[in-house]
Amino acid sequence: MSTRIYDCLKCIGEKIIENKDFLTDLDREIGDADHGVNMARGFTAVIEKTSPDDPDIGAVLKKTGMTLLSTVGGASGPLYGTAYMEAAKVLAGKDTLSAEDFKAALEAAIAGIQKRGKAEKGEKTMLDSLIPALDAYSAKIAEGGSLVDGLEKACEAAEEGIEFTKTIAATKGRASYLGDRSIGHQDPGATSATMTLEVIRDFLKG
């Protein structure tokens, strides 16, 4: 019997793999044309290497982060790997997830990405989706909203974040070499991060 954390990660992986070509095409416009390919390879390994029988959310996320770190090339491996490993620390030993747990995990993941990538919101990266998503999520649960209620708002904000990345020039990574020519293109990392949040929302909605 698979645990819910494994099943959720498998759904995330399937979504990334399904959108491999789309994510790679986005990256072709402003990067190395490898984001989708790399992420698909990473999540294929995650599905193979994580245990469907381990109920410890933190342990499964730690294994996920380590696997992404070792199998995903480019900037995405270190950033996504760090995000999952930092979230794992917050959720160590837990087999269920409260609204506050998810907030703490997302905060830790974002802090890890910022430290590893030395990036902030407004630089055309995954943070342009994740930081607004966290803000919207936090506001909703502060009103008494549930985990799923918060995720609904988080996903709306993340989608708006993707649109925002089209309006700004990249200042981080390979895309920064293009300068103003990167304007008009959406960031692939912001896109895959938003996909991840949407899968978690849909999985928890059942």
Q: Which residue has the higher pLDDT, 181 or 44?
A: 44
Please tell me what DSSP assigns to residue 97: -
Domain that holds residue 169: 4-205
* Predicted pLDDT of residue 29: 84
Centre a 10 Å sphere on the Cβ of residue 124 and count the other Cβ atoms it contains: 28
Is the Cβ–Cβ distance between 20 and 43 less than 8 Å? no
Q: Is the pLDDT of residue 189 over 80?
A: yes
- Per the structure, how many domains does the chain have? 1
Q: Is the pLDDT of residue 177 over 70?
A: no
> What CATH number should be reported for the domain holding residue 69?
1.25.40.340
pLDDT interval class at 163 (50, 70, 90):
very high
List, in order, residues 6 or more apart from 43 with CB less than 8 Å away: 9, 12, 13, 16, 17, 68
How far apart are alpha carbons 64 and 66 in whole angstroms? 6
Per-residue pLDDT tens digits for 24-81: 999 888 777 889 999 999 999 999 999 999 999 999 999 999 999 999 978 889 999 9
* Predicted pLDDT of residue 185: 84
pLDDT interval class at 184 (50, 70, 90):
confident
* Predicted pLDDT of residue 56: 97
Per-residue pLDDT tens digits for 96-145: 999 999 999 999 999 999 999 999 999 899 999 999 999 999 999 999 99
Q: Is the pLDDT of residue 13 over 90?
A: yes
* Predicted pLDDT of residue 174: 62
**Considering the entire predicted model, what is its pTM?**
0.95
Q: Is the pLDDT of residue 180 over 80?
A: no
* Predicted pLDDT of residue 173: 67
* Predicted pLDDT of residue 167: 93
How far apart are alpha carbons 64 and 45 in whole angstroms? 9
Q: What are phi and psi of 115, to 5 degrees?
A: -70, -45
